[in-house]
Amino acid sequence: MEISRQTFIRILVAITIIKIVFAFVFPIKNDEAYYVLWAQHLSSGYYDHPPMIAWLLHLMSYISGSIVWFRMLAIAASLVAVWVIYRFVCFFASDDSARFAATLFVLSPLYILLFLISNDAPLLLFSSMGMLLFYVALERERLPYALGSGVLLGAAFLSKYLVAPLGIAVALYSLIWHPRKRWPYLALAVVGALPFVLQHLYYNYTHSWNTLNFHFFLRNAGTNASFSMLLFYIFGMALVMTPWGVGYLAAMHRRLKELPYRFLLMAVLTSTIVFALASLKTVIGLHFFLVFAPYLFALYALIEKPRARKWLTVLSGAYAALWIGLFAAMAVFPLDRLQGWKFHADFVLGLAPKAVCTALEPYDQYPIFSDYYANAAILSYECKREINVLFSGSRYGREFDRWTDLASLDGKDLVIVSVGKDRGENWKSYFKHSRIDVVSVRGAPFTIFVGEGFNLPLYEKNVLAPIKQRYYQPPRWLPVAKSAS
């Protein structure tokens, strides 16, 4: 089966238009809202992740602050990934094979869903371009390209640490095959990436190693290794990586060892193994697969039989239609039907946040808070007002600690909104007087806690002191700047 240039363009345009429609239809999601707040509080680094997403969103905000506009970053990154797949395949196969591999990616859930996970767009954008540029540097013997690839991979590092397996893959590929010829390229790539790494290390040095401490010591503290999470990782990979294509590649494993495919195979294997090991301690999300998806889909060009290509394309098209239908159904689903379900209020906040803002209008005269960062971030964006966090002991969303002027709250009257009912009883002791209202939004309960006379010293003693001890104490063997906050 041959996919003509016109057919490929039609498929690409059709799926991309559907993604743009979804970008308009779906309200802002948890992490999207959180990173938009980062962009409004520009910094050289953040507690939860490196800063690249905030820097890019901040630049984009000079044009518009709309989430639809911000999601264009993810849509653009996914289009770049399509181009990267096409270019990789063109090094060892025909244009027809390149279009086939790129088409499978366009029809995959990863490409379709790349309007929602806009916070991971810089990771895909910079890492895929960096990997392609390094490969071009080796193939065409262009040393400056290797330096440029290092810059791009450094930018990917400032997007998320998940780029690390690709760095390992580049190093292994360069040092295992023809190391004498390739070590200068690897050295230049390291030089290109080094300023980004040093910037991030300096930020951590001056901020008690917050980001590194969070990811390597706190994020999965107390979590035991679990093979069930490894199975979840394997299931997730099968769900989004066109499993019928993986099956064909497994049957052709001998060809994968051939010289033209080693770079792609190294990127896929290194990422797969590293994330499999990580899955024993943490849940692997969709964004992990973005790291190595372009290289796996490029390898699908190895499938050359017309009948196999036809069935893979048909199956992928049906699978794409299934995912598009699922999201279309979510967009029009009547949320009242979920009444009584445990997570009804979470769905209402996620799919109809403006309705929650309407329910908060009678409390506009108070400073409003939430007890969880994701809820505060969504409501801050949708309600067009500052909503910070109180009484959250979560290891996530700790940037709110820097944004909240707690000293100004002593003795003030405050409102805390929480998802669900029967919340807030433990907060009463921190106020002179309080009441708890339960409001219904689309049939789902939300707790509105109204407290008068906030007792800041008690809050500092019982809440802030344990948080500082738990989340802001770096390992003793790491040097910390005297000015570290």
Q: Which of 249, 266, 257, 259 is nearest to 303 (CA)?
A: 249
The secondary structure element, H or E, covering residue 428 is none
User: Which position has the token pair 């500082």?
Assistant: 468
Give DSSP secondary structure letters for 202-257: HHHHHTTTHHHHIIIIITTTTPPP-HHHHHHHHHHHHHHS-HHHHHHHHHTHHHHT
What's residue 198's pLDDT? 97
Two tokens, residue 120: 């991971």
226 — alpha (psi -120 to 50), left (phi > 0) or beta? Answer: beta
The pLDDT value recorded for residue 466 is: 94
User: pLDDT tens across 281-303, in order?
Assistant: 787 877 888 899 999 999 999 98
Which amino acid does the sequence have at 438? V
Residue for token pair 């929480």: 418
What residues in the chain have per-residue pLDDT under 70?
Answer: 1, 117-118, 220-225, 484-485
How are strands ordered across the β-sheet holding 414-419? 387-389, 368-370, 414-419, 444-454, 431-441
The whole-number pLDDT of residue 196 equals: 97
Q: What is the DSSP letter of 463?
A: I
Quote the Cα angle for 404-392-29, to 5°: 85
Strand partners of residue 435: 450
Give the separation between CA 217 and CA 210, rounded to whole angstroms: 10
Which H helix or E strand runs over 55?
helix 52-61
Question: CA 314 to CA 26: how far, in whole Å?
Answer: 28
Return d(Cα 274, Cα 164) in angstroms, integer: 9
Distances in Å between the alpha carbon of 211 and those of 31, 90, 102, 163, 330? 16, 39, 35, 16, 35
How far is the C-alpha of 36 from the C-alpha of 31, rounded, in Å?
Answer: 8
Rounded-to-integer distance, Cα 287 and Cα 309, Å: 27
Instruction: Estimate the share of the chain in helix, then strand, then coil, as percent rounded to the nearest 5.
Output: 65, 5, 25
